[in-house]
Structure 1
Amino acid sequence: MKHHFRTRTSIEAPIEDVFAFFSAAGNLERITPPSLRFQILTPLPIKMEEDVLIEYKLRINGIPARWRTRIPVWNPPYEFVDEQLSGPYKSWVHTHRFREEDGRTIMDDHVEYSLPFFPFGLVAYPFVRAQVEAIFAHRAHAIRERFSGE
């Protein structure tokens, strides 16, 4: 069963600056909640482009997990997609879209994901959904904070 999460963030910066921030893979650690202990394993810097592979490790509720993603779409400065190849979800596809509006950037995120162990994984859905919402709320705050000082 596929689940969807959507959010929109308004960022007080030009689209080129925002996309450049996301083009530096190391910034992902800056916008991820510290409780996840997120760490990129792929040596930095990573040249972001279509089909690049990135490996991470993190902790979900204290349990160690590894995550491997691929970038199947890379369309600067308007869009990119990361998809989980292996990790804690059965599937995870995150589409990031950017557009400029009145001197600021509007970033739309859409995540389509499935939980493992269907149908038993559905029991965990409300908890997982709350975690996803909290991660993206932290991320939006960290991004706004990053660009507010410029």
Structure 2
Amino acid sequence: MVAEQTLPGPREDVFSFFADAFQLERITPAWLHFAVLTSPPLDIHSGTLIDYRLRLHGLPVRWKTRIRVWEPPFRFVDEQLKGPYRRWHHEHIFLEAGSNTVVRDIVDYRVPGGALIHSLFVKHDLRKIFQFRQAALSRLFHDSAGPMSGQTP
């Protein structure tokens, strides 16, 4: 899956927003009951482990990711070590576009249950999650106070 969005601001500022794992709570739909469990502050680098909890279709899920690649302000990669997917490899790429930044997400994932589970649940859910995320990012980055205002710990 590939998603792309252009956000206002220099690459360094946009990357800094994404470098704060707690910002995920602001850009994830409420129906997922998503929370970062790892205590702040989080010093992100290659090898950092981050724990989350969420609910998928009412079922509680724990998710652990590792930052596999950390190259500020250009890109980072997180991969699932434990969670709902058989494989989750998410590359976040930040490209300069004049005074804006293009954020490109490339997600390679596999689900238990194969194509049937993917087509019945996961494909639709991921599309909704990324649509919500793009709308939330657009609101945050176009807000005159800026995306880091009211940030979580």
Question: How would you bin the TM-score normalised by the shorter chain?
Answer: over 0.9
Task: Output one character per residue of 1:111-137: Cα deviation in whole Å (capped at 9) or x when no partner.
Answer: 0000114xxx32111221111111111
Aligned partners of 2:78, 2:129: CA distance in 1, in Å? 16
Q: Secondary structure at the match of 1:59?
A: strand
Aligned partners of 1:142, 1:48: CA distance in 2, in Å? 23
Superposition RMSD in Å: 0.9
Q: Secondary structure at the match of 2:44?
A: coil
Q: Which runs of 4+ in 1 moved over 2 A?
A: none
Task: Output one character per residue of 1:61-120: Cα deviation in whole Å (capped at 9) or x when no partner.
Answer: 111000000001000001000000010000100000001111000011000000114xxx
One-letter code aligned to 1:22: F
Q: Secondary structure at the match of 2:78?
A: strand
Corresponding position of 1:148: 142
Q: Which of 29, 36, 46 is the aligned partner of 1:33?
A: 29
User: Which stretches in structure 1 are left out of the alignment for 5+ residues?
Assistant: none
Indicate yes or no: 2:68 matched with 1:75.
no
Aligned partners of 1:24, 1:108: CA distance in 2, in Å? 17
Aligned partners of 2:22, 2:122: CA distance in 1, in Å? 25
Indicate yes or no: 2:129 matched with 1:135.
yes
TM-score by length of 2: 0.91
Q: Secondary structure at the match of 1:51?
A: coil
Corresponding position of 1:110: 106
Indicate yes or no: 2:44 matched with 1:51.
no
Aligned partners of 2:27, 2:41: CA distance in 1, in Å? 17
One-letter code aligned to 1:129: K
Percent of residue pairs identical? 43
Task: Output one character per residue of 1:8-53: Cα deviation in whole Å (capped at 9) or x when no partner.
Answer: 0010111111111011111011111110000111101211111000
Q: Secondary structure at the match of 1:26?
A: helix
Aligned partners of 2:125, 2:142: CA distance in 1, in Å? 26
Aligned partners of 1:95, 1:72: CA distance in 2, in Å? 9
TM-score by length of 1: 0.92
Corresponding position of 2:60: 64
